[in-house]
Amino acid sequence: MALQLLLHVAFLRLSATAGPSVQARDFRTPAVAWPSYFDFNWPQEVQETIQIPNNGSAPLLVDVRVFVSNVFNVDILRYTVSSMLLLRLSWLDTRLAWNASVRPRRAVTLPWDSLWTPGLTIQEALWVDWQDQSPRARVDPDGHVDLYLTLTTETNCDFELLHFPRDQSDCNLSFYALGNTALELEFRAHAVNEIVSVKREYVVRDLKTQVPPQQLVPCFQVTLRLQNTALKAIIALLVPGEALLLADMCGGLLPLQATERIAYKVTLLLGYLVFHSSLVQALPSSSSCNPLLIYYFTVLLLLLFASTMETVLLAALLARGDLRAKSGPSPTPRAEQHGHGDSEPNPEGAPRVKGSRRSQAEAADHVFFLVYVVGVVCSQFFFIGLWMWATCKSDPAPGKAVPHGGQPRL
């Protein structure tokens, strides 16, 4: 690092003897010269201007305006969100001021790496794409500097999905200036919502900024409040689930002895199992505060399973009773063994037993159907109330308990 600095100063001295010039460079190459009208002592002054301006005992105040132009690719399964931002950074650097009466210029534009600029890092970012690799800063005669940065980024977001698909979450973008301390630099941030498209599954309902207190590193935070429009999830999840449950209740109206009833119930159960397996993949999971829909559709699966098992068991008991009645001994030979003087046999005895078993099975099926309908209706009202009034607070992240720069807990 020291060798690079020495080579850099030597190169500046050589360029100063041949006359100052502004050379082309890429995103990471430092500047080699200032415009000639500044008339600086090259090696010393250039090194000073790329250091943070001295504001006395107070930290340098940088005004930040965040223009949010788009929010897209909200992925609740990966807990990520993509956004497009424009940052306007403004601060005062008196070292860059000049006498406007001698040099009548309203403003000059300088490459960003030829003067001090706050280096920003987004804490939640998975990747950041800076649109302009060589931005230029605008400097006024009094030393006010304006720097515009445009970026596209994908960040992590802790979605609150308890009430999915009517969920609402706050996604944070925390900008840190890791090259400075809070005693040297202070941010004053404002946010402007410039999103013009509302054709999104998630829409931005609110936008705000804040400067977290008691930070060793200067930072500011942009908070996006995202709300789910819920139309896609209602059509794809709730409507099929309610339709299968209604179809299952209608299947209870079929006669118990009808063979089509078992086939109907089993087909519904198998169809719901396929729907439930795809549902599990579509719904997000979390270590805490999982969506209520996961428990709702699990209860629906248990209801369909109980209805199918009731039909199978009662149909099996009814069929077993019919089989015993057909295979049992006829009452006529038994009467002949006791003699002709005994009471006449009751040839209708077996059908009476068969009819009584059938009536008991049908009565049990009727009672179960009524209980099942009441249970389904009550479960719907229960989940509606739970949906409206239930709250859940997610577990704090491990890093939230320790302030930035604190000692980690073992």
| Separation CA 207–CA 185 (nearest Å) | 24
pLDDT of 112-148, one tens digit each?
888 999 999 999 999 999 988 889 999 999 999 999 9
Using the predicted structure, report yes or no on whether residue 260 has a pLDDT greater than 70: yes
Residue 208 near residue 395, CB atoms below 8 Å: no
Query: Which residue, among 96, 98, 74, 44, has the nearest Cα to 226 in the 3D structure?
Result: 74
Radius of gyration, alpha carbons of the chain: 38
pLDDT score of 324: 72
258: Cα within 13 Å, side-chain hemisphere: 11
Q: How confident is the model at residue 329 (pLDDT cuts 50, 70, 90)?
A: low
168-176, strands of its sheet edge to edge: 121-122, 168-176, 219-228, 202-210
pLDDT score of 29: 36
Using the predicted structure, report yes or no on whether residue 391 has a pLDDT greater than 90: no
Query: Which residue, among 123, 149, 45, 137, has the nearest Cα to 91 in the 3D structure?
Result: 137
Q: Which residue has the tokens 């100052």?
A: 20
What separation in angstroms does the CA of 13 have from each of 19, 95, 348?
A: 10, 20, 123
Residue 265 near residue 308, CB atoms below 8 Å: yes
Average pLDDT along the chain: 80
pTM of the full structure:
0.72
Phi, psi torsion values for 256, nearest 5 degrees: -65, -35
Q: Which residue has the tokens 């994908």?
A: 154
Between 328 and 275, residue with greater pLDDT: 275
Residue 158 near residue 169, CB atoms below 8 Å: yes
DSSP 133: S
Average pLDDT score over residue span 291-300: 90
DSSP 19: -
| Separation CA 361–CA 356 (nearest Å) | 9
Using the predicted structure, report yes or no on whether residue 312 has a pLDDT greater than 60: yes
Supply 319's token pair: 């069929």
Instruction: Tell me the percentage of the chain whose pLDDT exceeds 70.
Output: 77
The DSSP H or E segment spanning 67 is strand 60-75
| Separation CA 262–CA 55 (nearest Å) | 83
Between 339 and 19, residue with greater pLDDT: 339
How many Cβ atoms are within 10 Å of 27's Cβ, its own excluded? 11
- 3-state class (DSSP) for residue 113: helix
Q: Where are the domains of the chain?
A: 60-229, 233-322+361-389
Question: 60-229 in CATH: which number?
Answer: 2.70.170.10
Residue 113 near residue 30, CB atoms below 8 Å: yes
pLDDT score of 276: 87
Using the predicted structure, report yes or no on whether residue 253 has a pLDDT greater than 70: yes
Supply 152's token pair: 């596209």
Average pLDDT score over residue span 239-258: 89
pLDDT score of 184: 93
- 3-state class (DSSP) for residue 77: coil
Average pLDDT score over residue span 367-387: 92
pLDDT of 19-77, one tens digit each?
333 233 333 333 333 444 344 444 555 556 688 998 888 999 999 999 999 999 999 98
First to last CA, the chain: 35
| Per-residue exposure over 340-366, b if at least 16 CB sit within 10 Å of its own CB, e if not | eeeeeeeeeebeeebeebbeebeeebe
| Separation CA 202–CA 260 (nearest Å) | 45
Average pLDDT score over residue span 101-113: 87
Cβ-count burial of 211 within 10 angstroms (0-12 exposed, 13-18 middle, 19+ buried)? middle
Average pLDDT score over residue span 204-233: 90
**Concatenated DSSP letters of 279-301:** HHHHS---SSS--HHHHHHHHHH
Residues forming beta bridges with residue 363, ordered by sequence position = none
Using the predicted structure, report yes or no on whether residue 353 has a pLDDT greater than 60: no
Q: Which residue has the tokens 């009202």?
A: 381
